[in-house]
Structure 1
Amino acid sequence: MKIEASLVEKKRDTDIVKKKTCRKTKRPPVLRMPMALQKLFVACQDVFKGPGTVPPPRDVQKLSHILDSMQPGDVGLSRNLPFFKPKNVVQGTPRVNYTTIYQCENFSLCIFFLPPTAVLPLHNHPEMTVFSKLLLGSMHIKAYDWVGPVKSDDSMLSSQWKLARLKADRVFTAPCNTSVLYPTSGGNIHAFTAITPCAFLDVIGPPYSKADGRDCTYYRDLPYSAFSDGASRMGKEDDCYGWLEEIEMPKDLKMDGVEYWGPPIIETRRAFR
């Protein structure tokens, strides 16, 4: 009986020690996978088929739906970051930062950071389909699409100026829906001007490639009336058009690539389907 009592006592002491140990031992935090970003990545693998292709409407809707639901935290951003709470006023032309989350032959995922008053001047996206999601801040977007050849007798109009239709000219504030542009429509030529510190995610397919003829071209614009000699040819639609001239990359455009510190992407086609 003494032996049995001793064993019972010993077992009780052991159980008490286990309970205390369990209470003191903290489990390591469970790391959440970047579900939204990973879902976007896998969708891009399916949607973008390479140069010379444009995603069909169903795939455009699929990607837009994913991007519309994405939050700044899905790519590691927060309003508490120093970038979004600048203490000093930047002198001169503010620099634009960008980071590449992922890039392959078929598509790229990039984030652009614009401090207040920073400008990405009018530029095009040749042979590309672009999804732009404003994640934080407010910016003014001006966008054009080319119009077919226009006959004109204006002596001021040179072959360097081409007619374009205005697709957007207003302020966007996050959160807002994703903007989609196509190789020849949707505002393929656009400019961004930051009103507040802002960040936007660009999904581009296929990405820029100078070697493959997809280099960025810059433009300056003038209102349609600039070459009308005071006579309106578009009538009430004058404000819906503009003249664009190709220019060299603006010298005051300053862009810096920075390292991506957000959630990683898992390169697998099976995950998160």
Structure 2
Amino acid sequence: MGMEKVSGERKKRKMRQKKVTAVQKLYDTCTEVFADCGPGVVPAAEGIERLKNILNGMTEVDVGVRPNMPYFKTRETGRFPKITYLHLCECDKFSIGIFLLPPSGVLPLHNHPQMTVFSKLLFGTMHIKAYDWVDNDNGASVSTTKADSSEEPVSARLAKLKVNSDFTAPCNTSILYPTDGGNMHCFTAITSCAVLDVLGPPYCDPEGRHCQYYRTHPFTDLSDDEKKLPDGEKMENYAWLEEIDKPEGLTVIGAMYTGPKIMEKLL
């Protein structure tokens, strides 16, 4: 009887261990990986690999989203179909959330100041276009140029195209860094899409990490000086980015996350 009781307890412990959900494992790993990080501080390579491996293995089932949810049905004919954001958790070190984009939904070109960002496409097909600053400077290094003497000057900054491709789930996690990997990116949903995002640290207006939007100008429209480019580089791989206000009509609506619960820790 004693041996049977011990064996039963072991089975119960194993069952409890198996009940740790993928999203809980993601949260727990984030608390460790981002523990010693802050604005502009990239996690250690080992930590990045841990998070990437967890996210690569996650699917929509792990967070309770599916393509037939009402968020993906839209009758709107405007420029920007409504996008839904599911908030999973946030602390001063990181945030986890899910963007739900209906077909033709767009998250316009925007930045992630001083952040390391992991984006996992859970389902659907999405076009991602991403840029990095050429000067690799977090400051406001701005070039003022104009395409024609009859036009108004444009304040813009030179950026290099890093990504310009379609992605279809299942695919590996995209990672961008404070100054590399495509810190400014645009998402365009070709089909209904769900994107699981981990930001470290999260946006924070009081600390100057607010979301900025950009308009692109072809390199040749604002400059005919190829000397601005590194030797051998093609002009089509570069663009001038002009900071703009939040695009009119862009609507991101918060909704209740109903997937597996996360047990948050007191950090």
State if a TM-score over 0.5 links the two structures.
yes
Match of 1:25 in 2: none
Cα shift at 1:226: 1.4
Q: How many residues align?
A: 237
- For 1:76 and 1:33, locate their aligned partners in 2 and report how far apart those are by CA, in whole Å: 16
Query: Is the CA contact 2:146–2:154 (under 8 Å) kept in the aligned structure 1?
Result: no
| Paired residues for 1:115-264 under 5 Å | 115-148=102-135, 155-156=146-147, 160-229=155-224, 232-233=226-227, 234=229, 237-264=234-261
Match of 1:12 in 2: none
Label 1:128 to 1:152 Cα distance change in 2 as closer, same or farther (>3 A). Answer: closer
Match of 1:96 among 83, 87, 101: 83
Structure 1 stretch 152-161 or stretch 173-182: which is displaced more?
Answer: 152-161
Cα shift at 1:50: 4.1
Match of 1:71 in 2: 59
- For 2:54 and 2:164, locate their aligned partners in 1 and report how far apart those are by CA, in whole Å: 25
Cα shift at 1:80: 4.2
Residue identity opposite 2:43 in structure 1: P
Match of 1:107 among 84, 90, 94: 94
Match of 1:41 in 2: 27
- For 1:142 and 1:160, locate their aligned partners in 2 and report how far apart those are by CA, in whole Å: 21
List runs of 5+ in structure 1 lacking aligned partners. 1-29
Label 1:151 to 1:260 Cα distance change in 2 as closer, same or farther (>3 A). Answer: closer
- C-alpha distance after superposition, 1:157-216 (max 9, x if no partner): 957111001000111111100000111111000011111010100000110110111111
Match of 2:4 in 1: none
Cα shift at 1:38: 1.1
Name the Cα RMSD after superposition. 2.6
Label 1:196 to 1:161 Cα distance change in 2 as closer, same or farther (>3 A). Answer: same
Match of 1:61 among 18, 41, 49: 49
Residue identity opposite 1:208 in structure 2: Y
- For 1:60 and 1:249, locate their aligned partners in 2 and report how far apart those are by CA, in whole Å: 31
**Percentage of matched positions with identical amino acids:** 49
Residue identity opposite 1:244 in structure 2: L
- For 2:70 and 2:252, locate their aligned partners in 1 and report how far apart those are by CA, in whole Å: 19
Cα shift at 1:152: 8.3
Query: Is the CA contact 1:83–1:197 (under 8 Å) kept in the aligned structure 2?
Result: no
- For 1:153 and 1:133, locate their aligned partners in 2 and report how far apart those are by CA, in whole Å: 36
